[in-house]
Amino acid sequence: MSLFLTTLSGGVILYLLIYYTMFKGSRCRSSAVLKGKTAIVTGSNTGIGKTTAMELAKRGARVILSCRNQQKAEAAAYDIRRESGNNEVLCMQLDLASLKSVRTFAETFLKTEPRLDLLINNAGVMATGQTEDGFGLAFGVNHLGHFLLTSLLLERLKQAGGGSRVVNVAALLHRLGTVDFAALNAHKDLVTPTPGRSSWHAALMAYCHSKLCNLLFTRELANRLEGTSVTCYSLHPGVISTELCRNMSWWQRLLLVPVSKLLFLDSEAGAQVTLHCALQEGIEHFSGRYFSSCSLRPGSVGPKARDDGLAKKLWEVSERLCGLS
């Protein structure tokens, strides 16, 4: 029995050591106060999006929860107002799987909100399927919807002055991604349909490709923002236990959920790098770069994410697909 208890306690200590050193992550150290500033957080009714919105509200910002499900967004806004004591938390419907919805959101925002200081492109999916416009779901939501949203709100960000920022929540899995323009042209997706490939594998690869797009978009955006007061960053939030995989089959969730609850970061820990990129002073000269911790220096990225030619081409193709050119 004593050997069993010793082994058990040793295992617990080892798990805690791994959890707090490898998974728990660092914390945002900024003490910035956001009174008088406005932030948009996409996908903010749950997970790290909701936690990010909560922290911004606690710092005094006017926070727009932009979510597909209005009922869930209203419930999240109620929670945030109650906990933060900030009544300037409101919802605006946004379905990133519909370019029409993105345009409607931007039009409404520009008519009703006089300023925008922080645009946090947080929403994401890992799933197969198509958007309203016929694009692959991960590419359409994770990249194209956010690309259009940012493009339509860019002038309002520039007008705010005083260091407005765009923050794109990406992932370490960008290293497994590619941007296949031939597949995009043929299938309106970065994943070529392959007989015999499981839906799980297809969803994972589509997610990786879309996260590479996030980094490339951020890189080219920084080039185009040079000389303005707006900066932009992409990031890896850590391995998070969220509803990202809500579109998986029940048996896939059954396998993943216990592991995620045991090992993955919670929403509070997962929001820290997002908050760091949104608020930390001293990182402005790293606009366009990728952060994987709350450090004053950016993290390393895969070689494809450093390709300026690829980033420029993705931008031009995205403009065409969104009807901006």
Residues 184-199: tens digit of each pLDDT: 999 999 999 888 788 8
pLDDT at residue 240 is higher than 60: no
Which helix (H) or strand (E) segment holds residue 274: the answer is helix 272-279
Q: What is the pLDDT of residues 14-24, one digit of tens each?
A: 444 444 444 45
φ, ψ (nearest 5 deg) of residue 39: -130, 145
More confident residue, 140 or 247: 140
Average pLDDT over the chain, rounded to an integer: 89
pLDDT at residue 21, rounded to an integer: 44
Q: What is the pLDDT of residues 210-222, one digit of tens each?
A: 999 999 999 999 9
Q: What is the pLDDT of residues 95-108, one digit of tens each?
A: 999 999 999 999 99
Question: Are 96 and 68 spatial neighbours (Cβ–Cβ below 8 Å)?
Answer: yes
Region 234-243: mean pLDDT is 75
Region 228-239: mean pLDDT is 93
In this prediction, residue 32 has a pLDDT band, given cuts at 50, 70 and 90, of very high
**Catalytic center residues:** 207
Provide the whole-model pTM. 0.88
More confident residue, 14 or 233: 233
φ, ψ (nearest 5 deg) of residue 105: -60, -50
The DSSP secondary-structure symbol of 139 reads I
Can you tell me the distance from the alpha carbon of 178 to that of 208, in angstroms, rounded to the nearest whole number?
A: 8
pLDDT at residue 78, rounded to an integer: 98
Statement: 27-322 belongs to CATH 3.40.50.300: no
Buried b (16+ CB within 10 A) or exposed e, 196-211: eeeeeebbbbbbbbbb
pLDDT at residue 267, rounded to an integer: 83
Question: Are 271 and 51 spatial neighbours (Cβ–Cβ below 8 Å)?
Answer: yes
Region 307-319: mean pLDDT is 98
φ, ψ (nearest 5 deg) of residue 64: -100, 115
In the chain, where the domains are located: 27-322
